[in-house]
Chains A and B, each alone.
Chain A
């Protein structure tokens, strides 16, 4: 194995190593040390991944690719993983949380570069299993319910995915993802099953039922794995599969249906939520729906739009969940006066909500610009209408929560944030406002990464 090939695998290896180190240290070292070591290794993986920007793609090996898409996904997933580590507290006295975050992130990194059905399946399952363990760590009834629901659904999703991969193999005789173009009825059934399996992980309707429970019952770190880290990875896997175009017309049709339903239903139900975390849970379904719509429409801008949208969504959801993690289970009323009591947390929450609503001057606006442009460029007017309707509904609930944060109210100052969480919030704020005001670097990165 050459040095370049070794380097191209190093982010995955280092993240996996972070998981192992975290696990090994958890019984013997204090929680801070465990978290520090894990985070340091993940950060090292990030540095290696960043240092490879612009490097020649390493020679292709059987299982993984090393293209722009994989690198973009790797960096974004590692950043998100680091963000989660910054605020994942040792919930329920469990010191394994950082290790589980690292393992899930490793799965996401593998998924971002997956070129082979086995890596796709393994990456997904590593992420999901770590997420389940993370969800049940607090050992409360709600957490157990959330974890159990996720476990059952994830099992069904994994079964569908495996069966779909088998059908695909039967049709094409290859397990490489890019060998699946077109095909007859067997390929179509396989594509539909693979899509159903991925739709579970991406929380598209009707496979979304676990998401709100995970967001409200499980610790925020588990929700962040579903909302940020695994969303990036699964989104990129979906993009890769979409470019391979398995199963002919079945694939875009399925994406359009599941995505459209997610965009509408997620937003409609989120309208009625009073709990912050349940609102975020339903809204993340809607965001997955928008991305599925973009992929369904296809066209030249789709890949770029997906990457920009993900890069805008990840800091927003992480900032919101970071604040939610510090506050505990809160309703909209509990948020009142947050800007007053904790300026940084309040400002981060408000800007994150603005960004998710797609209002300037945040990255979310650029994401929305790309979303609409990609749909318009593909002349998918019906899908554009669905996305616009979803975005219109979303204004209402995001802004209701945002204004609550600004409202004046007496209240306890609430728990303070530790410095890693504060640092993560500052980075997230910069990542929200920076591209919102000057999007060129992000756009350049995304368009370079989306090139096949």
Chain B
């Protein structure tokens, strides 16, 4: 029940936020906050009262029995961590969008629905339900970009939608193939994992899954939607994109290929690692060339999520653990950066690094926060991001040292873009645009504080996160067929 509530609470909470102002005279902001808080509390209770085995909680119920579709939800540490991130970010989105007045009820409903759909992805093990939430997730995020974005928002939203919906068809086709060839018809991932499949079938099915996940991740060459979507999205939209939607792609890659297609994964993993290594370099190099702060952070996301892809395909304990940690860490750091850049844009009207500068003189708390999360994006020791990237690269050295070396070198490039960003915003004489920019308001300060605290806490005391993620990592270990002796 607790797991079902993780989806139903935000889903119906969205309708509550939509209708509360009109029907009950309640504020849609506080309704959304209450919904997210309630979701968090239910999650906490479920984790505390969780079982000791492979799954903390497990639910199975019929949805459309004559077509073999069930509501099959399962939560382990990885899902729990991502669910906590999702409800937390949902709450943060409300606080940092206090200035949004244009059709605010629908805005907050869209936040709730995004959270509901991504929670569905993090929990579902019935593949058809997974595909359902996978497609559902696109709709509210699309609305957020198209209605409350900046610049050429409709074009960006359509681009986002077309990329993701078309890639989702790959997932759908693979799921239908598996469902239709099972007897009796079922979409239960655990059942389907037991079916015998030829090697070719595994590779083809995995490709269908991987296309959907890699577009959402995104790794080059599937990333073209991300910079536009981030640049034109409102701050809350950017946060949900970076903190949640990208994570659904990473989560999908982490969870399903090792479970369903272990042999196909062994064949394709080297290609995945190579693509990841390419993505790390590509994202980092392109980030160096950006003058728009949001585009810069968007390209760093490409680089960091490519590291996750490398880790997942690496298949060894270190790499997988690193990928898991990096997923969580990147959710904190990238959403904080988008939050800060959004706040800065709101004050100065620009995101152009050439027009910004000298923030540390006018707004010290603002500047300090920027510095902290640049350090995280740079994977400085002490931040959770460091832990994630270090683990992935350590693991990669066990598997393929060339790719590991490429990833390591590309981390040097991250110093370039991080200094560009930090130099462009924080240091120097205050530029005209920055003059009079108010320091962080209280409703911006505490989300930053929470995100910063999490980044440092998991960076300095990683054991808690590592033991939470362990069962999921152990389940995702692939036979080390491609480890070089």
Q: Which residues of A contact B (CB under 8 A)?
A: 301, 340, 354, 357, 359-361, 365, 368-369, 372-373, 375-377, 384, 388, 391-392, 395-396, 399-400, 403, 406-408, 438-440, 443-444, 447
| Minimum distance in angstroms from A156 CB to a CB of chain B | 36
Q: 7 A-B pairs, CB-CB below 8 angstroms? A: A360-B135, A373-B176, A375-B176, A388-B172, A395-B161, A439-B69, A440-B66
Within 8 A of A (CB), among B44-89: 62-67, 69
Contact A372 B63, beta carbon cutoff 8 Å: no
A376 to B185, CA, bound (A): 12
Q: Please, what's the 1-or-0 string for B133-156, where 1 marks a CB less than 8 Å from any CB in chain A?
A: 101101100110011000000100
Q: Please, what's the 1-or-0 string for B156-171, where 1 marks a CB less than 8 Å from any CB in chain A?
A: 0110011001100100
Q: For residue B165, which residues in chain A have a CB less than 8 angstroms away from its CB?
A: 357, 359, 392, 395
Contact B65 A440, beta carbon cutoff 8 Å: yes
A396 to B158, CA, bound (A): 7
Contact B147 A407, beta carbon cutoff 8 Å: yes
Q: For residue A391, which residues in chain B have a CB less than 8 angstroms away from its CB?
A: 169
Within 8 A of A (CB), among B150-200: 154, 157-158, 161-162, 165-166, 169, 172-173, 176-177, 179-181
| Minimum distance in angstroms from A355 CB to a CB of chain B | 12
A406 to B154, CA, bound (A): 11
| Closest 8 A/B residue pairs (Cβ) | A377-B180, A376-B180, A376-B176, A360-B136, A392-B166, A372-B176, A395-B165, A403-B146
Q: Please, what's the 1-or-0 string for B197-234, where 1 marks a CB less than 8 Å from any CB in chain A?
A: 00000000000000000000000000000000000000
Main secondary structure of the interface of B (DSSP, over half): helix
Q: For residue B147, which residues in chain A have a CB less than 8 angstroms away from its CB?
A: 403, 406-408
| Minimum distance in angstroms from A362 CB to a CB of chain B | 10
B442 CB within 8 Å of chain A: no
| Minimum distance in angstroms from B281 CB to a CB of chain A | 30
Instruction: Please name the residue on chain B nearest to A368 by beta carbon.
Output: B172
Q: For residue B67, which residues in chain A have a CB less than 8 angstroms away from its CB?
A: 373, 439, 443
Contact A399 B161, beta carbon cutoff 8 Å: yes
Contact A372 B66, beta carbon cutoff 8 Å: no
Q: For residue A368, which residues in chain B have a CB less than 8 angstroms away from its CB?
A: 172
On whether A395 and B162 interact (CB within 8 A), knowing A359-B139, A365-B132, A406-B143, the answer reads yes
A447 to B64, CA, bound (A): 12
Q: For residue A365, which residues in chain B have a CB less than 8 angstroms away from its CB?
A: 132, 135
B102 CB within 8 Å of chain A: yes
A400 to B143, CA, bound (A): 11
Contact A360 B132, beta carbon cutoff 8 Å: yes
B376 CB within 8 Å of chain A: no
On whether A399 and B128 interact (CB within 8 A), knowing A365-B135, A388-B173, A406-B143, the answer reads no
A365 to B69, CA, bound (A): 14
| Minimum distance in angstroms from A438 CB to a CB of chain B | 7
Of A361, A373, A403, A408, the contact of B180 (CB 8 Å cutoff):
A373
| Minimum distance in angstroms from B247 CB to a CB of chain A | 20
A375 to B177, CA, bound (A): 9
Extra A-B contacts (18), CB below 8 Å, given A369-B176, A373-B176, A388-B169 = A357-B165, A369-B128, A372-B173, A373-B180, A376-B181, A377-B180, A392-B162, A392-B165, A395-B161, A395-B162, A395-B165, A399-B142, A403-B142, A403-B146, A403-B158, A406-B146, A407-B146, A440-B65
Contact B138 A359, beta carbon cutoff 8 Å: yes
Q: Which of B67, B138, B147 has the most CB of A within 10 A?
A: B67
Contact B136 A359, beta carbon cutoff 8 Å: yes
Q: For residue B180, which residues in chain A have a CB less than 8 angstroms away from its CB?
A: 301, 373, 376-377
Instruction: Please name the residue on chain A nearest to B172 by beta carbon.
Output: A372
A440 to B62, CA, bound (A): 9
A395 to B169, CA, bound (A): 11
| Minimum distance in angstroms from B205 CB to a CB of chain A | 12
| Minimum distance in angstroms from B9 CB to a CB of chain A | 15
Contact A354 B139, beta carbon cutoff 8 Å: yes
A340 to B173, CA, bound (A): 37
B103 CB within 8 Å of chain A: yes
Of A301, A354, A384, the contact of B173 (CB 8 Å cutoff):
A384
Q: For residue B128, which residues in chain A have a CB less than 8 angstroms away from its CB?
A: 369
Instruction: Please name the residue on chain A nearest to B145 by beta carbon.
Output: A403
On whether A440 and B176 interact (CB within 8 A), knowing A360-B132, A365-B135, A407-B147, the answer reads no
Q: Which of B136, B143, B176 has the most CB of A within 10 A?
A: B176
| Minimum distance in angstroms from B427 CB to a CB of chain A | 39
Of A340, A360, A388, A403, the contact of B157 (CB 8 Å cutoff):
A403
Contact A395 B136, beta carbon cutoff 8 Å: no
Of B63, B157, B169, the contact of A392 (CB 8 Å cutoff):
B169
Instruction: Please name the residue on chain B nearest to A308 by beta carbon.
Output: B67
Contact A376 B177, beta carbon cutoff 8 Å: yes
| Minimum distance in angstroms from A441 CB to a CB of chain B | 9
Contact B176 A400, beta carbon cutoff 8 Å: no
A301 to B63, CA, bound (A): 19
Of B63, B64, B154, B162, the contact of A396 (CB 8 Å cutoff):
B162
| Minimum distance in angstroms from B324 CB to a CB of chain A | 28
Q: For residue B179, which residues in chain A have a CB less than 8 angstroms away from its CB?
A: 373, 376
| Minimum distance in angstroms from A395 CB to a CB of chain B | 5
A299 to B146, CA, bound (A): 41
| Minimum distance in angstroms from A241 CB to a CB of chain B | 25
| Minimum distance in angstroms from A399 CB to a CB of chain B | 5
Q: Please, what's the 1-or-0 string for B402-431, where 1 marks a CB less than 8 Å from any CB in chain A?
A: 000000000000000000000000000000
A75 to B65, CA, bound (A): 24
Q: For residue A354, which residues in chain B have a CB less than 8 angstroms away from its CB?
A: 139
Q: For residue B177, which residues in chain A have a CB less than 8 angstroms away from its CB?
A: 376
Contact B132 A438, beta carbon cutoff 8 Å: no
| Minimum distance in angstroms from A26 CB to a CB of chain B | 42
| Minimum distance in angstroms from A376 CB to a CB of chain B | 4
| Minimum distance in angstroms from B68 CB to a CB of chain A | 10
Instruction: Please name the residue on chain B nearest to A385 by beta carbon.
Output: B173
A443 to B181, CA, bound (A): 19
A368 to B103, CA, bound (A): 32
Q: For residue A400, which residues in chain B have a CB less than 8 angstroms away from its CB?
A: 158
Q: For residue A407, which residues in chain B have a CB less than 8 angstroms away from its CB?
A: 146-147, 154
| Minimum distance in angstroms from A385 CB to a CB of chain B | 9
Q: For residue A360, which residues in chain B have a CB less than 8 angstroms away from its CB?
A: 132-133, 135-136, 139
Instruction: Please name the residue on chain A nearest to B63 by beta carbon.
Output: A440
A354 to B165, CA, bound (A): 12
| Minimum distance in angstroms from A373 CB to a CB of chain B | 5
Of A372, A392, A403, the contact of B154 (CB 8 Å cutoff):
A403
A360 to B395, CA, bound (A): 39
A361 to B128, CA, bound (A): 13
Q: For residue A388, which residues in chain B have a CB less than 8 angstroms away from its CB?
A: 169, 172-173
Instruction: Please name the residue on chain A nearest to B148 by beta carbon.
Output: A408
Contact B64 A440, beta carbon cutoff 8 Å: yes
Contact B66 A447, beta carbon cutoff 8 Å: yes
| Minimum distance in angstroms from B7 CB to a CB of chain A | 11
Instruction: Please name the residue on chain A nearest to B128 by beta carbon.
Output: A369
| Minimum distance in angstroms from B208 CB to a CB of chain A | 10
Within 8 A of A (CB), among B247-303: none
Within 8 A of A (CB), among B91-145: 102-103, 128, 132-133, 135-136, 138-139, 142-143
Q: For residue B146, which residues in chain A have a CB less than 8 angstroms away from its CB?
A: 403, 406-407
Instruction: Please name the residue on chain B nearest to A301 by beta carbon.
Output: B180
Q: For residue B176, which residues in chain A have a CB less than 8 angstroms away from its CB?
A: 369, 372-373, 375-376, 384
